[in-house]
Amino acid sequence: MHLYLHIPFCRQACHYCDFHFSTNTSNKRAVVEAIVSEIILRKDYLPKADIETIYFGGGTPSMLDGEELHLLLDTINQHFTVATNAEITLEANPDDLHRDKLQQLYNAGINRLSIGIQSFHEPHLKFLNRVHSALEGEHCVKIAQEIGINNISIDLIYAIPAPDHSILMQDIQKTFALNISHISAYCLTIEPQTAFGSWLKKKKIKPIDEEYAAQQFEILVKTLAENGYEQYEISNFARNGHYSLHNSSYWKQKPYLGVGPSAHSYNGVSREYNVSNNARYVEAIQKQIIPATLETLTPADQTNEYLLTGLRTKWGVNKEKLELLSGNSFYSVHRADLEKLSEKNWIREDAANWYLTDSGKLFADRISSDLFIEE
């Protein structure tokens, strides 16, 4: 099974971010203790099985101090069996990752870091309102590797407005120089409930130029492929099979338990969404109540989610599974659409699966939604 912990605190709000987090850390300890209680309350959510992956996401989990991290890991170990080779990832920001902290994480058993680098270009970091400097981004990767954490992923953001593609190329080259085995590359998007969203409304910034974004994506895909990175999911690239096992489990529809404010859980038939409010989360958990909304997934929901996530991966979507999930309605509804998409060279098939082609990857969400089934 797979376990996700949401640590909902950040030092400052990045201008593009609409994840759930708070910059008020006054109740950090109370939230951590509530997550500890939730782990215990939810220990039977999924059938008993060894934990294969643990993922500390956020927010900024590198803001946990050593004691808080141990408290969480000790609770997990007391109530679950963690596989000896489990992947244990912690999302971290460079400004937290000084040598002592990295040593502490390594000693605690964190064996994979997902570092929020976003760019190695100082003005771009300022534009995004990141706390860290370009130099801190570079240094923390080197120190982590010296200490022995070699399974490192970095986040990069592309389509940041710039006169040409040279800064993106510099970011990619820096990634190669640092010998980083996994890259998650996300297109800058402007979400309504963010600083960028409000500036866009007031016309202080321009919308993201779609053509420029598509060009940057093509540069990324091409340059990374030429340098040995496999695009195993549209936004995720790995060298030498260093896939994120945790994220792959989501894309493969594996059940998982998510704890903490705003975390989601999935057991194969329903999803649960924890409240996205730290104070309300703590209050409910203190009363032994899980503050979650339950959504039972219909055959259409299950089919559509499978299409949305599965088509983005190198594993594609399985033909038999589509029929099974949709109650044998998928092909009767979409035979003609599949033919059209094949003719456009946006999808391809083999005996078992459907996959996006390279040109189809540019229109992934549109293709999935064209293949959605209705209730």
Check residue 304 for interaction with ligand SF4 (CB under 6 A).
Answer: no
Query: What single-letter amino acid sits at 289?
Result: I
Single residue of 1, 5, 7, 14 touching ligand SF4 by CB under 6 A: 14
Q: Does 137 bind ligand SF4 (CB under 6 A)?
A: no
On whether the CB atoms of residues 7 and 64 are closer than 8 A, the answer is: yes
Please say whether the beta carbons of 85 and 243 come within 8 A. no
233 Cβ neighbours under 8 A, 6+ residues apart: 247, 248, 251, 312, 313, 314
**Shortest distance in whole angstroms from residue 149 CB to ligand SF4:** 20
Residue choice 22, 53, 60, 181 for contact with ligand SF4 (CB under 6 A): 60
Identify the residue among 19, 212, 273, 315 touching ligand SF4 (CB under 6 A): 19
Query: Using CB under 6 A, which of the segments 8-16, 24-32, 240-248, 290-298 binds ligand SF4?
Result: 8-16
How many residues interact with ligand SF4 (rule CB under 6 A)?
Answer: 11
CA 70 to chain centre: 23
> Applying CB under 6 A, does 187 fall inside the site for ligand SF4?
no
Which candidate, 236, 257, 233, 375, places its Cα nearest to that of 308? 233
Work out how close the CB of 75 gets to ligand SF4 at its nearest, in angstroms, rounded to a whole number. Answer: 23
59 interacts with ligand SF4 by CB under 6 A? yes
- With binding defined as CB under 6 A, does residue 5 bind ligand SF4? no
Q: Which residue has its beta carbon closest to ligand SF4? A: 17
The encoded tokens of residue 150 equal 């070699």
x/- map, 104-133, ligand SF4, by CB under 6 A: ------------x-----------------
Pick the stretch among 14-22, 105-113, 164-172, 341-349 that binds ligand SF4 (CB under 6 A): 14-22
**Residue 251 is a binding residue for ligand SF4 (CB under 6 A):** no
Q: Would you give the distance in Å from CA 375 to the centre of its chain?
A: 29
Smaller CB distance to ligand SF4: residue 14 or 102? 14
Q: Least CB distance from residue 12 to ligand SF4, whole Å? A: 7
Q: Are 239 and 230 in contact (CB under 8 A)?
A: yes
Measured CA to CA, the distance from residue 28 to residue 74 in angstroms comes to 18
Site for ligand SF4 in 355-374 (CB under 6 A): none
Check the CA dihedral 262-59-44-30 and report its sign: negative
Gap between the Cα atoms of 238 and 243, Å rounded: 6
Measured from the CB atom, the residue of 32 and 356 that comes closer to ligand SF4 is 32
Contact 159, 188 (CB under 8 A): yes
Residues 6 or more apart whose Cβ sits within 8 Å of residue 204: none
Measured N-to-C along each axis, helices 99-108 and 134-147 cross at an angle, to the nearest 10 degrees, of 40
For residue 95 the two structure tokens come to: 């400004």
Residue 275 or 347 having the CB closest to ligand SF4:
275
Is residue 93 near ligand SF4 by the rule CB under 6 A?
Answer: yes
**Is 58 one of the binding residues for ligand SF4 (CB under 6 A)?**
yes
| Pure H helices in the chain | 28-41, 66-79, 99-108, 122-128, 134-147, 166-177, 195-201, 210-226, 245-251, 278-286, 299-310, 319-325, 330-343, 364-370
13 in contact with ligand SF4 (CB under 6 A):
yes
Q: In terms of CB distance, is 17 or 234 closer to ligand SF4?
A: 17
Q: Which of 3, 5, 7, 17 binds ligand SF4 (CB under 6 A)?
A: 17
Site of interaction with ligand SF4 (CB under 6 A): 10, 13-14, 17, 19, 21, 58-60, 93, 116
